[in-house]
Amino acid sequence: MTRECHVRFCERLEVKLLRPTRHFGMKAHIGVDSKEGVVHSVCSTAASVSDVHMLPDLLHGEEKKVWGDAGYQGQSEAIHEAAPQAQDMTSRRVKTKAGVDEAEKRKNRVKARVRAKVEWPFRIVKRIFGFTKVRYRGLKKNHEWVCAGLALVNLYQNRKRLAKINLRMVQQRA
């Protein structure tokens, strides 16, 4: 199935309610295949829930590499429990008391390039489908909306490949 997995851990969608002091916030956590950009797992939580708690839910177990941001540093045990063959490719801190580690900074840049693919599904959901602000409907209904939106993202990202398959099927029938 998939060889590598990107995990985008926090995408905050907030909306203000009637009173300016009250806010409703949610996070959409997604797992994305690094080769094809397909979203394979989705979790939605309240904005107050830590991202680290969602890590096992985002991994399907067949990953070879897990690319996470620096907030997931030190979670290699959780990664190996969820995906035993996975290599932990999370970004490391570059600032220490001794100064800035330039070698680690270069490694983090390479990791960030791979992790950048996970931003595209959020861009499509926000820009193309218009899901930028969340109305308070409850986490369950908002989660269902996010799941539907990300399913459409998978179709949108693979539309050219699907069109070629459809064309081949039509030509075989004729």
As a whole number of angstroms, the distance between CA 137 and CA 156 comes to 26
Residue with tokens 């959409």: 28
Lowest-confidence region among 42-46, 135-139, 161-165 = 135-139
The size of the chain, in residues, is 174
In which element (H, E) is residue 145 found? Answer: helix 139-157
The pTM (predicted TM-score) of the whole model is 0.71
**Is the predicted pLDDT of residue 5 greater than 60, yes or no?**
no
The first and second tokens of residue 31, run together, are: 């797992």
Domain count of the chain? 1
Name the residue with higher pLDDT: 7 or 138.
138
Could you read off the pLDDT of 11-69 as tens digits, one per residue?
454 554 455 545 567 888 888 887 788 888 888 888 888 777 777 788 887 888 887 77
Tell me whether strands 12-16 and 23-33 are parallel, antiparallel or unpaired.
Answer: antiparallel
Terminal-to-terminal C-alpha distance of the chain: 33
Range of the domain at 132: 4-173
Could you read off the pLDDT of 73-120 as tens digits, one per residue?
777 787 878 887 877 777 777 777 777 778 888 888 888 888 887 788
Q: How many CB atoms lie within 10 A of CB 27?
A: 22
The first and second tokens of residue 170, run together, are: 């039509």
pLDDT of 23: 55
CA R_g for the chain? 19
pLDDT of 19: 52
Q: Who contacts 111 (Cβ-Cβ below 8 Å, separation ≥6)? A: 67, 89, 90, 91
Q: Is 68 exposed, middle or buried (0-12, 13-18, 19+ CB in 10 A)?
A: buried
